[in-house]
Each structure stands twice: as C-alpha cells, then as structure tokens.
Structure 1
Amino acid sequence: MKLLAFQGSPRMEKGNTEKILQAFLEGAREAGAETETLYLRRMNINPCTGCFSCWFQTPGECVQKDDMKEVLEKILEADVLIWATPLYIYNMTAYMKAMFERILPLIKPDIIEGKDGLASHPARYKSKRQRWILISNSGFPEQEHFESLLHCFDRVCTIWTRGEGFAVTILKGAGELMRYFDIKLFEPFFEAVRDAGREFVETGSVSQETKARVDKPLWEYAQTASKP
C-alpha cells in the first residue's frame, strides 16, 4: 500500500501538523506500507489560471511547467492520499489550496450525474479507488471550527473516493498546546495516532476504541500535567 501525504503547513517539519502526520505514517510503515510526504511550501506549484487547457488543448496535461506534473504522476500511483494542513482562516493553507486546484487535469470536462443526483465531472483515468485521509489542527479548542475545511473538501472527496468520503479524519483542537507544553505529555495521543495508522493499513479502517483515543481533547493531557 502506497500512502502519499501532502503537507500544507508553512512551518513544515516544525509545525504541529507534522507531529500528527508523522505519527500516523510511522504506524502505517510499521504495518508494511510505503509512505511519502510532499512539503508543499518547498515545491514550485503555481495557482491554477483557469485556462482549461488541460481539458481541451492538452487533455490531461497542464500547460504550466512546474512541480505539479510530478505531483499528478504520484497521485495516480498512490493508494491513499493524505491531506495534512493546519487550519488557516477556518480552512486549508494557501499552499494546499493552490495544489488542490491543480488536480484539474485528472478530471474530464464531461458532466455526469453523481450518486447523490448532483452534477459532477468524472475521473480522466480509470484506476483503483483511492482512499482519502484528512489531518488538521487548530488553535481553537472546539471541533466546530473545522466545518469549513470539511465542507471545502467534501464534494471532491466524495466523488474521488466513489462515495466513501474520508476514510479517516484526525482533527485536533487546541493544537498549540503541543508547542507550549512538554511534548512528552502528549505521547499517549501520538501512540493512539500511530495505532490508527497501523490499523488502517492492516484492516482498512480504524477501530472505535482507537478513534476515541485519537479524539480525546489535548487539553486533558495538559490538565493532568498541571496537577501537583
């Protein structure tokens, strides 16, 4: 199984998103998966210009000559796509949004009726169904702050995964606690994330028990540490 992760944090390896993502990938590798992380800030990916050349003039190929050509090739080879982004203005970062828009060459201009009855575009290339995973964290503690991010991804994810939607979501509020408290305090959380990665590769899903451990609020660990 090949897992391809898009890391959209401008802080890259130094951010909270990275800590969560790499714990998941570590567990996946322990179960035998092949993983790769693309740090979007380091890549030369221009915004989509809306020219639709990839649909009509050069079908399946963007006219922009940047790193996105390699990214599209990697997407077609992957079994699982992981979208990892901190929450910026209640949504994905600009680095990820630019990359997200550039997957247009993998979609055909035809309009079809989706399973939900809404119009959509079919995939250009027939391939195995890919599964999607979303990882994000926010400085705000409440889960409601992730609603815009989920809504933005929802339509494309549902079409791409042929109705499945996200296979796994890890959305952590109060993520900045991982910066201001000893990171060792959150090891039980990271162990749960590693278990989630391992279970996903081994069984195709994450158990309810492990998901409950992953979803446990981060501040509960901090509260435990602050007790005398």
Structure 2
Amino acid sequence: MKALILNGEEVDGLSLKHISKSIKEELRSCDFEVEEILLKEKEIADCLGLFKCWVKTPGICIIDDYGRKTAAKLINSELVVFLTPVTFGSYSYQLKKALDRMIPLISPYFKKIEGEFHHRKRYSKYPSILAVGVMEKINQAQSKIFKELVKRNSINFHSAYCETEVFEVADDFNNKKIKNLVKVISEKVGEQND
C-alpha cells in the first residue's frame, strides 16, 4: 500500500520534521510504502480558478508544475496524510495551495451525498485521509474547525476513511496517540484494499 505525506510546513514556521518522522515510522511498520512531499521545497503555483482542468484538459491541471505531479501521486495512493500547522482552524498556505490544485481529480458534475450536493468521482478509487494538525498551544475552537474542514474535504475527495487529530508542538510524537491514530487508519485502509 502507498501512503503520501503532504507536509505543509511553512518556510519560516514550525518545523514538523520530528512529527513527520514519527508518522513515517508508524506507517512503515504497518506495511506502507511512504513518500513525503515537503511542499515548501516544490514549485506549486496557486490555482487560477479557471476550471480548464474540468473542460479543456479533463483531469489534468493546465499549470505544468509540481502541483500536477502531486495530484498524480495523491490519486495513486491508498492513504494521504495532511501534515500541517493549524492556521485559524485551517491548513497552512503550503498545504492549502497544493490541495486547491487537486480539483482536477473530481468531476465537474454533482451528485447528492447524504442530502448535500458534492462533486462526482472522476476515478474509481480515492485515498483515505489522515490529517495531523499542529499548534503551539491547543485552541479548542480552531481544533474543532480544523476537524470539520478535514471531514468536509474527505467527502469531496470521496475518501473511504478519514482520521484527524490536533497536537501541540511540544507533544511527544513517539507517543501512543500517534501510534494509535496511524494504526486505526492503517487497519481501515488495509481492510478496504483486501
């Protein structure tokens, strides 16, 4: 199974290396082949919002940069990890712009899911999501918003499973919380792929 970590560490922000290391170790112990993209090191332009990826070049972003490669890697993974500082209850700029560029992976057409309208699938399978948010100090309101955002994104990405947790930067990332979080999502993804 393949796992892709989208590391949204900011250029001058918190270092997420120790957290990333812990997550990678746990994923590998669960038999995942792990690839990490440190987004701040990649050339990924902002989405232009032209929707040509839906009508002119279906499924492919018109911007030919690492955002296009990231979309291909994401759709070919069983699990995607969003690793990000939590910024006002949302993703970092680095992760947000990368996720905005994933819009070619869904269809421009809609369907009803649990009474709400969402984009249809473009592909037969989508990765499950594990989101790990990090804050200097836990803010309950921002944590709640972050978890809801990830949940909503998992619906739009047609993810079979989604797990989300917010940690303080000072937490011990070799702890049971990370192990349990990775174990839970790994078991679900493994069952899905059997």
Q: Same fold (TM over 0.5)?
A: yes
Contact in 2 for aligned 1:12/1:41 (Cα 8 Å): no
Indicate conservation of the 8 Å contact 1:20/1:193, yes or no.
no
- Distance in 2 of aligned mates of 1:90 and 1:198: 22
Q: Output the amino acid matched with 1:199.
A: K
Output the amino acid matched with 1:39.
L
Q: 1:170: which partner in 2? A: 165
Structure with more strand by fraction: 2
**Structural RMSD (CA):** 2.4
Unpaired segments of 5 or more residues in structure 2? 190-194
Contact 2:147 2:165 (8 Å CA) reproduced:
no
Contact kept, 8 Å, 2:147 with 2:164, in 1: the verdict is: no
- Bigger CA drift: 59-68 or 153-162? 153-162
CA displacement, residues 19-67 of structure 1 (integer Å, 9 cap, x when unaligned): 2232122012123211011011011111111111111111111111111
Alpha-carbon distance between aligned partners in 2 of 1:157 and 1:118, rounded to the nearest angstrom:
14
Deviation digits for residues 138-185 of structure 1, max 9, x if unmatched? 1123433212222333222124245x552x323113x2x36xxxxxxx
Could you list the runs of 5+ residues in structure 1 that have no partner in the other structure?
179-185, 206-228
How many Å separate the matches in 2 of 1:197 and 1:13? Answer: 24
TM-score (norm 2): 0.85
Residue 12 of structure 1, CA deviation: 8.9
Residue 9 of structure 2: aligned partner: 9
Percent of aligned pairs with the same residue?
A: 20
Q: Measure the CA separation in 2 of the matches of 1:144 and 1:51.
A: 33
TM-score, length-scaled by structure 1: 0.74
How far apart in 1 are the matches of 2:156 and 2:87?
25
The aligned counterpart of 1:54 is: 53
* Deviation of the 1:11 alpha carbon: 5.0
* Aligned pairs for 1:61-100 within 5 A: 61-100=60-99
Contact 2:132 2:165 in 1 (8 A): yes
- Alpha-carbon distance, 1:203 to partner: 2.9
CA distance in 1, matches of 2:124, 2:89: 34
- 1:195 aligns to what? 179
> Alpha carbons of 1:157 and 1:12: their partners in 2 closer, same or farther (altered >3 Å)?
farther
The amino acid across from 1:117 in the alignment is: G
Q: 2:127 aligns with which of 122, 130, 141?
A: 130
Cα distance, 1:13 vs structure 2: 11
How many residue pairs end up in the alignment?
189
SS at the partner of 1:54? helix
1:95 counterpart SS class: helix
